[in-house]
A and B are shown apart, each in its own frame.
Chain A
């Protein structure tokens, strides 16, 4: 099975770190499309998408420091905002891809936002940690403790992750939100900045997943 590794690319004089998930997402996106990254952080994915896929990139980010980092990377379309407020300013299907990486678990209203994403975006790409991963199940089952992992490093009492789900949960969630799953890519972290694609029993063997979804017609 093919391994995917974190890479660093140089753009405009700054070094950009691309996590394996980012690389997979970049491959999913066609050149010249319009992309919106929700919770775009310091703008690495958007910068790479601009450089590699010539997309029209837009980002929303809650942290003031992250917005500053985005501006330093020469991104001209980033907005300081709270995703829990939704995307009311955006017209229906005005964006080709709306991306939400590793963020759905911190939202107060994930169902609300996912519906908003599907309204605004022709397609949505969502990545999330899989709480059904066997190692996490084992921690709960054998140690009787709330699971922790490199992907979920927080103590139960001090975590931004308030809506954790398993891959199976997420598939069901998509049905609830009236979304069609176009693709599901299941991933297993194999080391720092490395992962591989999982083909069997993903809800047990994958520690993360990327979904491409779309509003049902």
Chain B
């Protein structure tokens, strides 16, 4: 296929390995991890003063491949190609954009499917439980490696937004602008509940084998079901109605059996099956657990106190129909920022697309981000 004009074009995933023993990275759980490899991609050019770097943090099932194509034959560009590229919200003519796969992931960064140097076999459940803060600490090592002292901006949606918040708290002097989108400062009981159902689906699949399935049959059913559940939470009642209503899949009448009747069933099955091809079940367990543990206020007493030393200016965005990370959770963030006298723009974008809205083309999102970056860059 022809690569569009406003694309970053053909890109390549790069790798950075650090925390080689005996200098392993200390994790929040108390265990150590090393060596750690991070898969990352960069777009645009780092300017000589190194002050135009934007770090994008991905969500649960994302990866380092934000924009562009790995080969001219790729059917789809990176996961946020609509926002990253020449003339787009994160304009690669102006900004040096970086994204890395999180630790615990399965897209090139060290995770449960990586080889455990102590055993020569994949980690599986031997992999330590990582947190959002650990993910951010690993990203900091990459940023240091790239010679960047201070990021112009850290941006991301959903779990990416959690990393954004964690960055501003963990490394207040290293972040000038923060764009947390469709996210929360602590995962709600409802969201934890959905994560747990997903994990139980995986762990009750006989092929899961306590996480030791590498080189054998993968827990296909469990992971597909986990993804189906997740997908429901990313949509909204209205968007599902618009997309599927009660339409039947390739039939005129009910089948009176348990084969697919409705389009929505077929869609979810397709989403589940295609996810299994690109994602590791153990990574799903680890990453959802990292989200569940996320509570920015923990250890500070309150969210207000957590933000106390934060230096960044914020653009906080939520979506009206997002019921997984509802707007009130973004407002809590903004309230705590305001209590600390930290500049924050808050807006709720009207949309029917639910939590997934942050991944979709949106003129509002593009304008907000590009203006925020432009004005923020010229200040401070």
Interface residues of A (CB under 8 A from B): 12, 64, 67-68, 70-72, 74-81, 89-91
What residues on A are CB-neighbors of B344 within 8 Å? 76-77, 79
Closest B residue, CB atoms, query A75: B345
Hey, what's the 0/1 contact readout for B365-380 against A, CB within 8 Å counting as 1?
0011001100110110
A81 to B327, CA, bound (A): 11
User: A76 near B345 (CB under 8 angstroms)?
Assistant: yes
From known contacts A68-B367, A72-B371, infer whether A78 and B349 are also in contact, taking CB-CB under 8 Å.
Answer: no
From known contacts A89-B335, A89-B338, infer whether A71 and B346 are also in contact, taking CB-CB under 8 Å.
Answer: no
Q: Closest Cβ of chain A: how far from B180's Cβ, in Å?
A: 15
From known contacts A64-B350, A89-B335, infer whether A79 and B345 are also in contact, taking CB-CB under 8 Å.
Answer: yes
User: A79 near B334 (CB under 8 angstroms)?
Assistant: yes
From known contacts A74-B375, A89-B338, infer whether A80 and B348 are also in contact, taking CB-CB under 8 Å.
Answer: yes
What residues on B are CB-neighbors of A91 within 8 Å? 339
Q: Closest Cβ of chain B: how far from A31's Cβ, in Å?
A: 19
From known contacts A64-B349, A64-B364, infer whether A71 and B343 are also in contact, taking CB-CB under 8 Å.
Answer: no
A75 to B378, CA, bound (A): 12
A161 to B304, CA, bound (A): 37
From known contacts A79-B344, A79-B346, A80-B348, infer whether A68 and B368 are also in contact, taking CB-CB under 8 Å.
Answer: yes
A89 to B337, CA, bound (A): 11
A89 to B333, CA, bound (A): 12
Q: Closest Cβ of chain A: how far from B185's Cβ, in Å?
A: 15
- Say yes or no: is B347 at the interface (Cβ < 8 Å to chain A): yes
- Say yes or no: is B227 at the interface (Cβ < 8 Å to chain A): no
From known contacts A64-B364, A89-B335, infer whether A74 and B379 are also in contact, taking CB-CB under 8 Å.
Answer: yes
In B319-358, the 8 Å CB interface with A consists of: 334-335, 338-339, 343-350
What residues on B are CB-neighbors of A81 within 8 Å? 346
What would 13 A/B residue contacts be, using CB atoms closer than 8 Å? A64-B347, A71-B345, A71-B375, A74-B371, A75-B345, A76-B313, A77-B343, A77-B345, A78-B346, A79-B338, A81-B346, A89-B335, A91-B339
Give the one of B367, B375, B379 with max A CB within 10 A: B375
What residues on B are CB-neighbors of A72 within 8 Å? 367, 371
A80 to B334, CA, bound (A): 10
